[in-house]
Structure 1
Amino acid sequence: MYVIREKFFSVGDDFDVLDEHGTKVFHVDGKVLSVRDKVVIEDPSGQEVATLHRHLVALRPTYEIRIGGEKAAEVRKKLFTPFREKFTIDVPGPDDLEMKGNLLDHEYVIERGGEEVAAVSKRWLTIRDTYAVQIAAGIEPLLIIGAVLALDLALEREKDEKSDE
């Protein structure tokens, strides 16, 4: 299980992703947030292991996840999903993933082919403004954590754009 602090993008500061024992697993550099909404994920020794950035020219919110310099996935909001938001994690090949549930409140699952591979919840933790990410064995943690952060960025940007209207 991984623990992520909620609403970190509004501050744009750095933060650590912890495991269930409170040990630092990843460091997220929020200071590079820019026009492209770029985020750098580092291992505990400070080596860059993944990046996340927003595509500027896209019909809907789209974020690219790169792991070890290679494109790992694009996270995109589905265009027509009545009554609830859904995001697709488009990975190379046929095994795309889908995020569904209550995305705004951090209570959702990530599925591949209808099978749950990760779950996100605030209810598992008593720490304020944090949520947990539980990832199934055999699933790349950086892919899931990157996708969760991309969703947070997209929802934060959407909220900011609505408040500017």
Structure 2
Amino acid sequence: MKYVVREKMFAIGDDYWIEDERGDRAFYVDGKVMRLRDTLELKDSTGAVVAVIHKKLVSIRDAMTVERDGQVLVTVKKKRLALLREVYRAELASGEELEVRGDLIGKEYDIEYGGERLARISRRWFSLRDAYAIDVERDDADAGMLIAIAVCVDRLVEKEHADD
């Protein structure tokens, strides 16, 4: 299933809808303003919170966590010792690891588990600068978690390159 992310530049609180490939609203990213740390809620089309995304307050390297039902589901951060390309890793609470690799700035990258692609993030299908697709390739994959990981990577890459 493909999801389309159309970010609204300079939106108050960074709120925006993520639509499915039919154009139906599937997820809502609700940025929480006036918080000590960067916080976003990922909600489904009914308004139920699927995940809460936080920037970690204390971390050697920038990192974000994705929580579900008050429990950390995944922690996303840049992988150390990645040669030639930027690689991020998403460490699941179970200890398993997903790799995020490709052109992160241009939004042409994959989220992989054990060398198998779970999702492809791509801007190729759009002429709009602020839109990209998240193609969840496996039917049994947790789309909400993969979308939350893509949102984390997007934020972390944006912050890293804004600091340069």
Residue 62 of structure 2: aligned partner: 61
Q: In the aligned structure 2, how far is the partner of 1:45 from the partner of 1:6?
A: 20
Matched residue type, 2:121: V
Q: Distance in 1 between matches of 2:101 and 2:44?
A: 28
CA distance in 2, matches of 1:47, 1:31: 16
- Structure 2 CA distance, aligned partners of 1:92 and 1:50? 14
Contact kept? 1:32, 1:40, Cα under 8 Å: no
Q: Supply the distance in 2 between the matched residues of 1:141 and 1:68 (Cα, whole angstroms).
A: 16
Asked whether the 8 Å contact 2:8–2:15 carries over to 1, the reply is no
Query: Residue 2 of structure 1 aligns with which residue?
Result: 3
Match of 2:98 in 1: 97
- Which residue in 2 is equivalent to 1:150? 152
Shift, 1:14, TM fit: 1.2
- 1:30 matches 2:65: no
> Percent identical across equivalent pairs?
35
Residue 33 of structure 1 and its aligned partner are, at CA, apart by 6.8
AA matched with 2:143: P
Q: TM-score, normalised by structure 2?
A: 0.89
CA distance in 1, matches of 2:85, 2:8: 21
CA distance 1:33–1:158, shift in 2 (3 Å) = farther
Q: 1:50·1:69 contact (CA, 8 Å) conserved in 2?
A: no
Equivalent residue number for residue 107 of structure 1: 108
Output the CA distance in 2 between the equivalents of 1:132 and 1:37. 23
1:30 counterpart SS class: strand
Structure 1 range deviating more: 87-96 or 31-40: 31-40
For residue 34 of structure 1, report the CA deviation from its aligned partner: 4.0
Query: Which runs of no fewer than 5 residues in structure 2 stay unpaired?
Result: none
Within 1, Cα distance between the matches of 2:153 and 2:36? 17
Measured after TM superposition, the shift of residue 35 of structure 1 is 4.1
Who is 2:14 aligned against?
13
Distance of 2:36 and 2:125 partners within structure 1:
34
* Distance verdict in 2 for CA 1:133–1:105, change over 3 Å: same
- Cα distance 1:84–1:7, how it changes in 2: closer, same or farther (>3 A)? farther
2:157 partner letter: L
Equivalent residues of 2:7, 2:16 under 8 A apart: no
Indicate conservation of the 8 Å contact 1:37/1:153, yes or no: no
> What is the deviation of 1:129?
1.7
Say which structure is richer in strand: 2
Matched, 1:52 2:74: no
